[in-house]
Structures are given as C-alpha cells and as structure tokens.
Structure 1
C-alpha cells in the first residue's frame, strides 16, 4: 500500500489526547506515539511502529512533537 499523503497530530487536549488525521480522515485520539502507530497500522500501513512515528517526515506534529502529551 502507498504511504499516506499527510498525517497530522493535533495539540494535546485537556485529557492529554491528541487527534490524529490520516489522509483527511480523523482516526481518533492518541495518548502516545504507540497509539499513533496503531492508527497508521489500521489505516493499512502495517510497517509503521513507534520509532517510525517519531522519525517520520510524513507526520506533522502541531502543538509539540511526539514527546508532548500534556495540555
């Protein structure tokens, strides 16, 4: 399967969750980089793991990088 065109991880909300949008579709709320990897896998990108999420240039982190999970 082709790589996603765009992945956006939005700033943390009051609960520490971050909305994740993959190719224009909201995938859910992530509470860790591991959750983002799980969303990527569900979207058909099984090769993504937590380290890929942290290093990938495909992912746009808004409101802080993959180490920011508090509002």
Structure 2
C-alpha cells in the first residue's frame, strides 16, 4: 500500500498541531491520541504514530505538546 507523507506541524500558541498529508489538512491534534484518531478517520490507522518513518514531526516530536502556560506571556 502506498502511504502518503504525513506532517505533524509545529505547535500553535494554543498547543494544537495541524496534521497534513500533502496539501490536504487531515485535522488538528492537541495530544498524541488525537493524532492517532485523525489518522484512523483518514483510514491510515495502520501507521505506528510514534515510530513511523512517513510522519514528519516538525517543531518537536510525539512527546511535545506545549500548552498555553509554556508560551511566554504577551
């Protein structure tokens, strides 16, 4: 099966991370479990999220989910 390249983008100010496959946005995640669910809904649940070579984790890996308190105050 030919799987698409998945990108989990760097965290936004609210800690969410956009998930894309090519130019298509698959969803928004606030936790690793959300990434698993977004991929399941896209029929990509055979991907091992934390160890897959086709997932490009930008701005931190699967363990990086900063919340609002981890961003500097304005």
CA RMSD, 1 decimal: 1.5
Structure 1 or 2, whichever has the larger Rg, is 2
Shift >6 Å, 4+ stretches: none
Calculate the TM-score normalised by the size of structure 1: 0.81
Structure of greater relative contact order (alpha carbons < 8 Å, 6+ residues apart): 1
Consecutive unaligned residues of structure 2, counting only runs of 5 or more, are none
Consecutive unaligned residues of structure 1, counting only runs of 5 or more, are none
Calculate the TM-score normalised by the size of structure 2: 0.78
